[in-house]
């Protein structure tokens, strides 16, 4: 799978077009090379909103998403963001014992992407206090059977797992504004192909020339 998802429009850019989603730049596409399928425009926006609606049916709280390099993974992530749900992005190769420990400590509302990662990426046994559901849009998931005791801060956007080098994995918190603040300067600085389709030459290596 290759993808060309854009960042949200920056101030002064004219905003999203009529057939685009606030999270997706106009003209962006999500390409599933293996299946020969491309999502763009209204189709991509509808797929994101369909995923978002699935989260509205779940208890409040953080979403744990096992994220692979697949179109469904991208849609589950964008859907959670669109639904205003904080989402922890987890490697499908994470050991089942580590995932179980994170679930016990952080008590997510749901764990999605159970089928991500292919052979050998087993999420492990169903945690106590959760039930397995087969959601029409989000796929197989573990959903808590109790209402989480804590409500996440409304500005909480993404949680990223540390390497666990200190003895146990922890989740680093990022605000909802952080991804856009990081992506915007990079999107403007990234090289773009010319009208002929050619990419610009690689910049010279070494330190920049001194001003004279």
CA atoms within 13 A on the CB side of 94: 31
Give pLDDT, residue 7: 32
In-domain check, residue 125: yes
Interatomic CA distance for residues 99 and 96, integer angstroms: 5
Q: State both tokens at 73.
A: 């993974």
In-domain check, residue 116: yes
In-domain check, residue 32: no
Token pair 């680093």: residue: 172
Q: By C-alpha distance, which of 89, 108, 110, 88 is closest to 149?
A: 108
Q: Which residues contact 184 (CB under 8 A, 6 or more apart)?
A: 7, 10
In-domain check, residue 164: yes
Give pLDDT, residue 89: 93
Terminal C-alpha separation, the chain = 47
In-domain check, residue 203: no
In-domain check, residue 43: no
Count of domains observed in the chain? 1
How is 119-185 classified by DSSP, letter by letter? TT----SPPTTEEEEEETTTEEEEEESS--SSPPPTTEEEEEE---TTSS--EEEEETTHHHHHHHH
Q: Which residue range forms the structural domain that includes residue 155? A: 50-182
* CATH at 92: 3.40.50.980
158: three-class secondary structure by DSSP: strand
Q: 98 with 104: CB under 8 angstroms?
A: no
In-domain check, residue 123: yes
Q: What pTM did the predictor assign?
A: 0.73
Give pLDDT, residue 29: 86
In-domain check, residue 94: yes
3-state helix, strand, coil in the chain (%, to 5): 25, 20, 55
- pLDDT by residue for the chain (212 residues), tens only, comes to 333 323 332 333 333 333 446 677 778 888 888 778 888 888 898 999 999 999 998 999 999 999 988 899 999 999 999 999 999 999 999 899 999 999 999 999 999 999 998 777 899 999 999 999 999 999 999 999 988 777 888 888 888 887 766 667 788 888 887 777 776 676 666 666 555 555 555 544 444 445 44
């Amino acid at each position: 799978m290759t993808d060309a998802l854009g960042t949200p429009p920056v101030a002064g850019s004219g905003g999203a077009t009529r057939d685009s989603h606030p999270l997706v730049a106009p003209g962006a596409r999500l390409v599933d090379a293996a299946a020969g399928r491309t999502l763009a425009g209204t189709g991509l926006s509808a797929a994101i909103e369909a995923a978002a609606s699935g989260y509205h049916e779940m208890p409040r709280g953080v979403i744990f998403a096992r994220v692979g390099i697949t179109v469904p993974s991208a849609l589950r992530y964008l859907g959670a963001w669109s639904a205003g749900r904080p989402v922890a992005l987890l490697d499908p190769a994470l050991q089942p014992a580590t995932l179980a420990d994170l679930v016990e400590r952080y008590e997510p509302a749901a764990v999605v992407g159970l089928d991500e990662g292919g052979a050998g990426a087993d999420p492990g046994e169903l945690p106590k206090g959760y039930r397995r559901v087969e959601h029409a849009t989000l796929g197989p998931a573990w959903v808590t059977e109790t209402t989480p005791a804590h409500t996440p801060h409304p500005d909480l956007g993404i949680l990223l797992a540390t390497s666990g080098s200190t003895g146990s994995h922890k989740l680093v918190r990022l605000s909802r504004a952080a991804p856009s603040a990081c992506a915007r300067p990079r999107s403007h600085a990234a090289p773009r192909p010319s009208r002929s389709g050619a990419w610009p030459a690689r910049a010279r290596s070494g330190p920049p020339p001194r001003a004279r």
